[in-house]
Amino acid sequence: MNPKVDFYFTKAKKWQEEIKKLRTFILDCHLKEELKWGVPCYTFQNSNVVLIHTFKDYCAVLFHKGVLLKDPKGILIQQTENVQAARQIRFTSIGEITKLEKILKAYIFEACEIEEAGLKVPMKTTKEYDVPEEFQTKLNKNAALKKAFHALTPGRQRGYLLYFSSAKQVKTREVRIEKCLKQILNGKGLED
């Protein structure tokens, strides 16, 4: 157990017993416990394998390369359609966690084997994402914006494209684009 992570298990207002149980199971698999993204993250040979996180309606373990797991029990969940690699197993009670202990550990060991083998998740490239028409118009009219956008890392580009595209109404997309222009021109990502 890493003392830097202890606060996460005591500050939780909901799911406290459940996440403590998950922590015990995961540590039984001899992974290194670290604090990343403000949550407990467990690594194998310096690679992120699984993390614990909580939500309003459930707590979960998230496998960073979960899409590569075999999942014979069909319990892995893709959080949203845009999540490419990670997969979750969600829990709403201690009983569910206890019932799935052996399966959870098997998935963890398989995830470690994936890391040991050096397997990578084939990720979609930025070119495979749709560029909203409103943003494409801005890029076509503003050479500096186009240059700045293409200078961003692929992840930052995808972040903007997903954010712009997720708006259903044209007006909302236009407002989002306008708000982000300065950030893009300054070489910043959506969350920077």
pLDDT tens column, 123-159 = 887 788 889 999 999 999 999 999 999 999 988 998 9
Amino acid identity at 162? L
Q: Are residues 83 and 20 in the same domain?
A: yes
Q: Residues of the chain with pLDDT > 70: what percent?
A: 100
Do 79 and 165 fall within a single domain? no
Residue 81 lies in a domain: yes
Residues 110 and 27 in one domain: yes
CA distances from 170 to 73, 76, 159, 164, 175 (A): 42, 35, 18, 10, 9
**Whether residue 87 is found in the same domain as residue 144:** no
Q: What would the mean pLDDT of 32-60 be, rounded to a whole number?
A: 95
Q: What phi-psi label fits residue 74: left (phi over 0), alpha (psi between -120 and 50 degrees) or beta? A: left
Q: How far apart are CA 151 and CA 169, in angstroms?
A: 28
Q: Give the pLDDT confidence score for residue 10 in this predicted structure.
A: 87
Nearest to 89 by CA among 78, 98, 102, 76: 76
pTM as predicted:
0.76
Looking up residue 84, the CATH number of its domain turns out to be 3.90.1150.200
Q: Comparing 185 with 82, which gets the higher pLDDT? A: 185
Which domain does 145 fall in, by range? 126-185
Chain segment 50-107, per-residue pLDDT in tens: 999 999 999 999 999 999 999 999 999 998 887 889 999 999 999 999 999 999 999 9
Same domain, 51 and 136: no
Tell me if 141 is assigned to some domain.
yes
In the chain, the number of structural domains is 2
